Amino acid sequence: MSEEIEFVSNYSDMSTDRGFQFELYCNRCGSGYRTSFKAWAVGTASSVLETASSLFGGIFNSAANVGERVRSAAWQKAHDEAFKDALDDLRPQFIQCPRCSSWVCRKSCWNERRGLCKECAPDVGVEMAAAQASRTTEEIWAHAAMAEEDKKLGKEHWREGIRATCPNCEAPLDSNAKFCPECGAKVKVDNRCPNCKAKVAPGAKFCPECGTKLGQG
């Protein structure tokens, strides 16, 4: 019965016919480790035979072909052994998250306190700092994006209703205009009684406080 080799998905095989080398990397941050290049003696010998064959016009053709056949079987066996050694050497640097099953590096992406990767259980302090920085950036952009004409409104005007369209022709208004740039109609209507200065509802014909006729209608 052949020996089974347990493998992971977070690796790259950089092996050639001259030797074996592998990389294991973190599924979260992408950083990782690379094994030292392990030369394959048979591959080197076969390469020498192939070079000799090209130099001496086929004298070593049969030897080179034999080397190729040997390599196809021996190389795979040596490759499997090198791969197993690479996993044994490098896998302790990584751990599989029991929640999302990702292989992550212990150095940067593993939350030891929670027993989960930092994608599933982020560091609270880091997230708080990031949230505060994000909020600060949002406030900077909000203040920087304020147009000069909007700044003129001042605090005392923020409670006033600002219209988006002209009450007469319904043309869109791109600023806090007093008069419509299309028809010239007055945009801001004074909803106060001219006599007692009490607030009146739009369209009212008489003041509800003093009875003064307002002139609408």
pLDDT tens for 67-85 read 454 557 888 899 999 999 9
Instruction: Annotate 135-183 with DSSP letters as a single string.
Output: HHHHHHHHHHT--HHHHTT-GGGTTS---SB-TTT--B-SS--SB-TTT
User: Would you say residue 56 has pLDDT above 50?
Assistant: no
5 within 8 A of 83, measured Cβ to Cβ = yes
**pLDDT category, 59, cuts 50, 70, 90?**
very low
Strand, coil or helix: 95: strand
Could you report the per-residue pLDDT of 93-117, keeping only the tens digit for each? Answer: 999 999 999 999 999 999 999 999 9
Structure-block tokens of residue 72: 């196809």
Q: Give CA–CA dist 149/81, Å, rounded.
A: 73
Per-residue exposure over 99-131, b if at least 16 CB sit within 10 Å of its own CB, e if not: eeebbbbeeebbbeeeebbbbeeeeeeeeeeee
Banded model confidence at residue 43, pLDDT cuts 50, 70, 90: low
Whether the predicted model's global pTM rises above the 0.85 cut? no
Percent of the chain surpassing pLDDT 70: 72
The answer to whether residues 136 and 128 touch, using CB atoms and an 8 Å cutoff, is no
Local confidence band at 28 (pLDDT 50, 70, 90 cut-offs): very high
Q: Is 84 in contact with 78 (CB distance < 8 Å)?
A: no
Range with the largest mean pLDDT of 52-56, 57-61, 66-70, 195-199: 195-199
- For residue range 176-193, what is the model confidence (pLDDT) as tens digits? 778 888 898 887 766 788
CA 16 to chain centre: 34
Looking at the predicted structure, is the pLDDT value of residue 118 above 90?
A: yes
At 52 the pLDDT is: 42
Mean pLDDT of 29-56: 69
Please write the tens of the pLDDT for every residue from 128-163. Answer: 988 998 999 888 877 766 665 565 555 545 555 567
**pLDDT, position 151:** 59
Q: At what angle do helices 61-90 and 41-55 cross, to 10 degrees?
A: 150
For residue 53, which amino acid is it? S
Q: Give the pLDDT score at 120.
A: 95
As a whole number of angstroms, the distance between CA 95 and CA 49 comes to: 44
Q: Note whether 139 and 145 are within 8 A (CB).
A: no
Q: Decide if pLDDT at 49 tops 50.
A: no
Identify the pLDDT of residue 99. Answer: 95
